[in-house]
Amino acid sequence: MSPTNEQAAMAPPCARYRVLHQTRYDYASTVTLSQQYLHLTPRSFRHQQTESTLIRVEPAAGSSHDGVDFFGNLTRHVTVTAPHDSLLVHAESAVALRTRPGLGVLATSLPWESVRDMMTWERSTATLEACRYLYPSPHVDPFPELEAYARTSFTPGRPQLEAALDLTHRIFGDFAFDATATDIATPLEQVLRGRRGVCQDFAQLMIGCLRSLGLPARYVSGYILNHPPEGQPRLIGADASHAWVSVFCPALGWIDFDPTNRCLVGHEHITLGWGRDFSDVTPMRGIVLGGGNQTLEVQVTVTPLPLPDPA
């Protein structure tokens, strides 16, 4: 039996992690002003509690302002006015995760057509909130070929979450992970045609498939733990920012799927934030005056932490 929202919120954590996310820009010439918009504080919600976050900027920010974006993610605006040839943003967080629904709930979900129809006629708070993830967004503009690809999984009357897991498996099997095949501007048409990309592409592809059927889906930005047994390969996406998909289920809320790793999201995925697509939850973006050519280095380390002693 799956826990209710209230039970999940009261349950003790099943895992704890420390996340170090360090971004460094080196510039060919001096930068006189840098303004950056950060999504680097992990989000707290029923399956995750952020225990602490420390964000350090070098050179030190002249001004800093914390806020919340349209989707409820925590943000920080920083302005660096001291002249600099490099910029370092170091974020360190500790999070506790709670158990998510398992595979057993998938077949109990409504037929996917029923969920699609609810988006048009039911006006509950949950469905209205979900509708913001139903329409085209800057990087996800559904087109007929996406719907055709999705229909193989979403057969008539099939439970919505069971079909979503099947789509997750098919994307994993049909597409190759290739960090050189795409960039942030690569359209979904090219990803679908080339059958290659990275976690961001696979998440946005799956979102496009779901939205093309009239089903809300949101983009989740975060991290994934990697602890392979000796001699086994590392999980794709480890030690880097990762991305996956959250699917709205009227009875259970949002259920997360990872097409890059062919799995239902569990206790090894750390959520940073969510939005319509990558553009809503970019970990760091901004503008600089000066600088010329620049190089970027991003380092991410996810480390398990001990669980608290039982009371």
Give the pLDDT of residue 5.
Answer: 43
**Are 44 and 122 contained in the same domain?**
no
Instruction: Judge whether residue 80 has pLDDT over 60.
Output: yes
Instruction: Judge whether residue 4 has pLDDT over 80.
Output: no
**Are 116 and 248 contained in the same domain?**
yes
Give the pLDDT of residue 234.
Answer: 54
**Are 237 and 275 contained in the same domain?**
yes
Question: Of 159, 189, 191, which Cα lies nearest the Cα of 174?
Answer: 191
> What rounded mean pLDDT belongs to the chain?
92
Q: What phi and psi, each to the nearest 5 degrees, are found at residue 297?
A: -130, 125
The reply to whether 80 falls in a domain is yes
pLDDT, average across residues 100-117? 94
Q: What is the pTM of this model?
A: 0.93
Token digits for 2? 């799956």
3-state SS class at 160: helix
Q: Which residue has the tokens 């089903």?
A: 215
Name the pLDDT band for 11 (thresholds 50, 70, 90). Answer: confident
| DSSP letters for 30-87 | EEEEEEEEE--SPPPBTTEEEEEEEEEEESPPSEEEEEE-TTS-EEEEEEE-S-EEEE
Give the pLDDT of residue 230.
Answer: 76
Kindly tell me the sign of the dihedral angle through the C-alpha atoms of 299, 265, 281, 293: positive
| Segments forming the whole domain that contains residue 260 | 103-280
| Total domain count, the chain | 2
Pick from 7-11, 58-62, 92-96: least confident: 7-11
Name the pLDDT band for 66 (thresholds 50, 70, 90). Answer: very high
Name the pLDDT band for 38 (thresholds 50, 70, 90). Answer: very high
The reply to whether 311 falls in a domain is no
Name the pLDDT band for 3 (thresholds 50, 70, 90). Answer: very low
The reply to whether 144 falls in a domain is yes
